[in-house]
Chain A
Amino acid sequence: MTMQYLLQLVISGLVIGSIYSAVALGFVIIYKATRVVNFAQGELLMVGAYVCYAFLVQMHVPFGIALLLTILFSMVLAMIIERLILRPMIGEPIISIIMVTIALSLVLRSAVSVVWGTDILVYEPKLFPQAMLMVLGVPVSLEFVWCFVLSVFLLAVFSVFFKYSKAGVAMRATAFNQQVAQSMGISVKYIFALSWIISAVVSGIGGVLIGNINGINNTLYHFGLKVFPATILGGLDSILGAALGGMIIGVLENLFDGVCSTYFDLAGVKEVAPYVILVVILMIKPYGLFGTKEIERV
């Protein structure tokens, strides 16, 4: 195994990891504000990717406008989901909330398959130029670079949003203590809706990016399942943790896969490595790298 190959693995891991980060960010935003564990995060990504495809390829809308429309669609969808499905579940035990988001994921998946079928679809006018760039002596496709840069930009924007904007501060306050937030004049309902909207938009953009690179099909929701290793590693309620966790998981799964298929002749390690990492983290450091240390030792 050469240095070149290792670098290649790390870089492609970083690119996929940046998508994981975007989805994990969406997951953490919802979890932080509403304590809902969203098992349908990957489906939000998938819906975003397909809707953008519909505007871009099927209706021939220019990319900028298609992206805006996709964001708008994600917002409306998130509002509907929050109002109709999650709002009535407030106060229910955690297992019911897990189940309702799993059921939601089934519905979204089925809706996508019914409308767009199960074939692989490709974004027709490619957004990013098809060129190669040399990074540390390794050729990297330019669209990978763009994808990575955009994800990082997205993460930075939301970090700033949470730190400085009024709505961001209100969201953090709600996450910290709902009753106190309410008595300070923050509408908790509005915050819940807002967190769903932001989460859906971030995931939707992630979907558009991955659609540009790989094309889309109805197994795209698998990205949602990688959210758990990423967020557990980073800490369930940490934005920075989600960003870093996603990248680390992306790189690690690629490295494990590369090493195992070269040296041990084991294929398909990629699918399982994140979960092994997840179990290990849960055993030794369950609150993750940046999470609030709230787990009681029992």
Chain B
Amino acid sequence: MQYCGDFRTTYEKDVKIFQTPFVKICMGFLGVALVALPFLVKGEYLWISMQIVIAVIGAVGLNILTGFTGQISLGQGAFLGVGAYTSAYITAKMGLPFWVGVPAAGVVTALAGMIFGIPSLRLKGLYLAIATLASQFILEWIFLRWEPVTGGSYGIVVPRPSIGGYVFDSDRSYYFIVLVIAAAMVLFATNLMRTRTGRAFMAVRDHYISAEIMGINLFKYRILSFAVSSFYAGVAGALYGHSLRYVSSEQFNIGVSIVYLAMIIIGGLGSILGSIYGAVFMILLPKLLTVVTTQLGTSFPGIAEVAIALEQGIFGAIIILFLIFEPDGLAHRWKMIKAYWKLYPFSY
């Protein structure tokens, strides 16, 4: 018997990634679009697309920690930096290939994340936020001062990856590497949330005492969450470093941490899809603001001088408006829109 509507009668159906054939088709189209993108756009636009894909990895990582496990982190920017410097050191100074550098960046950053995650065993909420803020400043300072490894204020020049004789020198070829890694990591995160580990993360977030009573080892899962999240940050940072071909300490300041936090809050806490929306939004927004302010600058010359400051201000204002009027994020809004059309025109 065929019911009208989308009914789930087994657990397997309920935890499926693609709930309906329609979603599968849509995802197929999205995949094709992402692969075709570098052939359709070029220059600045391709660069922005690449940055979005890299940011998606970092945002998904932060969402695993903050959105799914409920551990607020203000240090994502510094963890990106750890990844970028690790990969830079391995590829530029030790001469090993990119394919070693990026996984190593993930592992080293995961270790760093575990170390800075140790306070989370005793601290929560605000105190943890402040502890991670401290880790951001401490790491930033290390980036600048540990000159033999990080190159100090000069930074490190990083090569692009290569296979055999082929060098992924153009943005287009590099985009594909980034895309494949990002797709794999997003898929892994989605699947992770369907396993015992993912459910344990969410239990820790929702009520840690209940979680502990139900047999979840808080120590293990908090540290694990920090490790997974930092692994993502490390890979994202490494990819970012290789995309720029240059790593320096000011690329990973507190501002980056704020942007990543804004991504997952605006996208939607505790939602993989939300992290993707958030990453797209937060990377596009500054570019859009730059376009707007330069446009305004041509008609009002006074604005050109203060354009950068003005951009920052508008950026902040948009975050404030979002938090006040759309506190559950874009993913929630997307759900509401879907629900509206599902029930249309009888939405009651």
Which A positions have Cβ atoms within 8 angstroms of B?
Answer: 37, 85, 88-89, 92-96, 98-100, 102-107, 109-111, 113-114, 117-118, 225, 228-229, 232, 236, 266-268, 271-272, 275-276, 278-279, 282-283, 286, 295-298
What residue in chain A is nearest B262 (Cβ atoms)? Answer: A99
Contacts of A118 in B (CB 8 A): 309
Contact B145 A266 (CB under 8 A): yes
Q: Tell me the minimal C-beta distance from B317 to chain A in angstroms.
A: 5
What residue in chain B is nearest A266 (Cβ atoms)? Answer: B145
Interchain Cβ contacts under 8 Å between A and B, 21 examples: A94-B125, A95-B66, A95-B261, A98-B72, A99-B323, A103-B317, A103-B320, A109-B312, A110-B309, A110-B313, A110-B316, A113-B309, A272-B137, A272-B141, A275-B133, A275-B134, A278-B130, A278-B134, A279-B135, A282-B127, A296-B124
Nearest 3 interchain pairs by C-beta: A110-B313, A106-B316, A113-B309
Contact A37 B316 (CB under 8 A): no
**Cα(A282)–Cα(B133), bound, Å:** 12
Contact code string B264-294 (vs A, CB < 8 Å = 1, else 0): 0100010000000000000000000000000
Contacts of A296 in B (CB 8 A): 124
The number of A-B residue pairs with CB atoms under 8 Å apart is: 136
Q: Tell me the minimal C-beta distance from B275 to chain A in angstroms.
A: 14
A107 touching B262 in the complex, CB below 8 Å, given contacts A37-B129, A114-B310, A279-B134: no
Contacts of B306 in A (CB 8 A): 113-114, 117
**Cα(A121)–Cα(B57), bound, Å:** 43
Contacts of A92 in B (CB 8 A): 323, 327
**Cα(A98)–Cα(B145), bound, Å:** 29
Contact A106 B141 (CB under 8 A): no
B26 contacts the other chain (CB 8 A): no
Contact B141 A271 (CB under 8 A): yes
9-residue interface stretch from B17-25, B115-123, B158-166 = B115-123
- Given A96-B265, A114-B309, A114-B310, list of 4 further CB < 8 A pairs? A232-B127, A268-B145, A279-B135, A286-B127
B315 contacts the other chain (CB 8 A): yes
**Cα(A271)–Cα(B141), bound, Å:** 8
Contact A275 B129 (CB under 8 A): no
Contact A104 B320 (CB under 8 A): yes
| Contact-residue size bin, chain B (C-beta under 8 Å from the other chain) | 35 or more
Contact B122 A298 (CB under 8 A): yes
Residue in B124, B314, B327 whose beta carbon sits within 8 Å of that of A298 in the complex: B124
Q: Tell me the minimal C-beta distance from B165 to chain A in angstroms.
A: 44
Q: Tell me the minimal C-beta distance from A96 to chain B in angstroms.
A: 5
**Cα(A59)–Cα(B121), bound, Å:** 54
Residue in B122, B129, B261 whose beta carbon sits within 8 Å of that of A283 in the complex: B122
What residue in chain B is nearest A88 (Cβ atoms)? Answer: B324
**Cα(A286)–Cα(B145), bound, Å:** 29
A283 touching B141 in the complex, CB below 8 Å, given contacts A88-B324, A278-B130: no
Q: Which of B295-322 contact A (CB under 8 A)?
A: 305-306, 309-317, 319-320
What residue in chain A is nearest B129 (Cβ atoms)? Answer: A98
Contact A228 B130 (CB under 8 A): yes
**Cα(A283)–Cα(B119), bound, Å:** 7
Q: Tell me the minimal C-beta distance from A113 to chain B in angstroms.
A: 4
With a 10 A CB-CB cut-off, give which of A37, A102, A113, A268 has the most chain B CB atoms.
Answer: A102
B126 contacts the other chain (CB 8 A): yes
B218 contacts the other chain (CB 8 A): yes
B37 contacts the other chain (CB 8 A): no
Q: Tell me the minimal C-beta distance from A273 to chain B in angstroms.
A: 9
**Cα(A109)–Cα(B311), bound, Å:** 11
Residue in A95, A107, A229, A266 whose beta carbon sits within 8 Å of that of B313 in the complex: A107
**Cα(A278)–Cα(B135), bound, Å:** 10
Contacts of A110 in B (CB 8 A): 309-314, 316
What residue in chain B is nearest A40 (Cβ atoms)? Answer: B316
Contacts of B258 in A (CB 8 A): 102, 106
B208 contacts the other chain (CB 8 A): yes
Contact A279 B324 (CB under 8 A): no
What residue in chain A is nearest B128 (Cβ atoms)? Answer: A282
Contacts of A103 in B (CB 8 A): 262, 315-317, 319-320, 323
What residue in chain B is nearest A113 (Cβ atoms)? Answer: B309
Contact A298 B265 (CB under 8 A): no
**Cα(A93)–Cα(B205), bound, Å:** 12
**Cα(A84)–Cα(B302), bound, Å:** 29
Contact code string B304-348 (vs A, CB < 8 Å = 1, else 0): 011001111111110110011001000000000000000000000
B203 contacts the other chain (CB 8 A): no
**Cα(A229)–Cα(B126), bound, Å:** 13
Contacts of A266 in B (CB 8 A): 145
Contact A100 B137 (CB under 8 A): no
Contacts of B261 in A (CB 8 A): 95, 98-99, 102
Q: Tell me the minimal C-beta distance from A254 to chain B in angstroms.
A: 17
Contact B127 A228 (CB under 8 A): no
Contacts of B312 in A (CB 8 A): 106, 109-110, 113
A107 touching B125 in the complex, CB below 8 Å, given contacts A271-B141, A283-B119: no
Contacts of A267 in B (CB 8 A): 145
Contact A85 B127 (CB under 8 A): no
What residue in chain A is nearest B134 (Cβ atoms)? Answer: A275
B235 contacts the other chain (CB 8 A): no
